[in-house]
Structure 1
Amino acid sequence: MPAFASLLELLPALAVGAALGFFGGMFGIGGGIIAIPLFVIGYGMDQPLAQGTALVMMVPNLLVGWWRYSQRHPVPIGRALSIGALAAATTWVTARFANALNPVTLKAIFALFLLVLAVHMLARHRTPKPHTTPRVAPRFIPLVGLLGGSCMGLLGVGGGLVATPLLTGLFGLRQTVAQAFALALVAPSSVIALIAYADAQRVDWALGLPMAASGLLTVSAGVAFAHRLPEKQMRTAFAWMVLLTAIWLLASPLVLR
């Protein structure tokens, strides 16, 4: 009976992890943007614990994605290592800072990040894409790791979401190449962020590990499903979901008094 009871407790985590893996693959993200608000709102976690637990799920997904993407879209190894090293160092510093912040303050910062991201995504779909030409010399590409690593350390997410537009807009990289560089930044940064959050006792391993395992099984299905849907409508729906989540995170302390 104890074993059966443990299985019943494990099943919800497996189901949630599978769903997060599917939606992460569907929207081309690590899943943290969905997982962290879920942990805060649905599981009652404080913000640092939610971010640390989400990283348990994100790390294997991002490492597998980095490996597979590098096979199809190889990037110069020197620049990939440089952007990854700068991002990892910045991640460690900002993650330590995040764990020292008041959880309520960190939650507000995370919600504002989601709000800005959602507004940017919605605005981008309403305006035509400009022709991108390099405006910054390629040798400065590793500096993007500073911004991406800061997001990963402070918020547990967002490294790729910040890096990819910078790489396409400032450096004129093609989208596929920019995403390959972004994965070179995010994958090692996620490992460093997880180590920092674990060192601060901000990780629920009992919840995160089952989610990570089941999420790995459904990522490919999410990617396959995404290719059957109109991309513009799918991205718009995701942006609205992020916007509503941000509004709820900001408003919930007032509504639930």
Structure 2
Amino acid sequence: MIEWMMYIALGAALGTMGGLFGIGGGLIAIPALGLLFGLDQQLAQGTALVMVVPNVLLALWRYHQRNRIALQHALPLAAAGFVFAWLGSIWAVGLDAGAMRLGFVGFLIALVVWNLARMFMRSTPPSSELRQPWPWLGLLGSGAGVVGGLFGVGGAVIATPVLTSVFGTTQVVAQGLSLALAAPSTAVTLVTYGVHQHVDWSMGVPLALGGLLSISWGVKLAHALPEKVLRSLFCGFLVLCAVMLAFKV
């Protein structure tokens, strides 16, 4: 019982940070589980997904109630994301845990570089129409799906900035489409990790409960902070996680 309460409290902290940075908590939970509890990379990713999947589904449902998601854009993203997340997760469960951890460190560093670059890039006015033809959404879904399946992060962390910068969508549209991509891809990735015994359900379930209870607090805090401050905090946190995981390797 004490362990469950501890995991719920950790899930609440991770959920708050996930809501603050708009990433659902998985990107933060994975290094936390590896560093605090000594889980190997695949087990940390699979366990984090137990928390991520319900968070994504709840966010998608609530988002669609307020902002209708265009089905013709969501379908190619979701379909490609589902297939390639499944392939990426199959690849992930067969890799060496140390190599996976190094790959995850590289992924965190790449995210830092991309987010820092976006802070200094000139932004063009967003449009309600996609700058690129809709079939290119399938290509985005494929790439984001592979990365999501491989590292257990759902792909939304990649899809959202690409949709706003390359496809020229508004932030609201990008977040809705990213959730449509993340819902099936995180679900199939969790199933794959679970089948291959890379999920600690006794830890993941209370983490999920804590995350569901707290993610809205992080969202409220995010809306109270300037975007550049949020992005700077996010980059700083990713650098810290990458350094700590690199030393663990």
Gaps of 5+ in 1: 1-6
Query: Aligned pair 1:172/2:168, yes or no?
Result: yes
Structure 1 moving runs of 4+ over 3 Å: 130-135
> Are 1:30 and 2:24 an aligned pair?
yes
Residue identity over aligned pairs, in percent, reads 43
Q: State how far apart, in whole Å, the 1-side matches of 2:213 and 2:131 are.
A: 41
| Residues 138 and 171, structure 1, Cα contact 8 Å, conserved in 2 | no
Aligned length in residues: 247
- The alpha carbon displacement at 1:129 in A equals 2.3
Check 1:103–1:112 CA distance in 2 against 1; reply closer, same or farther (3 A cut).
same
Instruction: Note if 1:62 corresponds to 2:56.
Output: yes
Query: What residue number does 1:21 align with?
Result: 15
Match 2:227 to one of 209, 225, 231: 231
TM-score (norm 1): 0.91
- 1:122 is displaced (CA, Å) by 2.0
Structure 1 stretch displaced more, 66-75 or 14-23 = 66-75
2:24/2:215 contact within 8 Å kept: no
2:41 maps to which residue?
Answer: 47
Greater Cα radius of gyration, structure 1 or 2: 1
Partner letter of residue 118 of structure 2? R
Q: Which amino acid aligns with 1:81?
A: L
Asked if structure 1 preserves the Cα contact closer than 8 Å seen for 2:164 and 2:170, the reply is yes
Q: Is the contact between residue 12 and residue 210 of structure 2 (CA under 8 Å) also seen in structure 1?
A: yes
Return the match for 2:193 from 194, 197, 208: 197
Secondary structure of 2:224's aligned partner: coil
Asked if 1:221 corresponds to 2:217, the answer is yes
Q: Report which stretch shifted further, 88-97 or 158-167.
A: 158-167
1:137 alignment partner, SS class? coil
Residue 4 of structure 1: aligned partner: none
Consecutive unaligned residues of structure 2, counting only runs of 5 or more, are none
Q: Residue 159 in 1 paired to residue 183 in 2?
A: no
CA contact (8 A) 1:119 1:243 kept: no
CA pair 117-158 structure 1, distance change in 2 beyond 3 A? farther
Quote the RMSD (CA, aligned, Å): 1.6
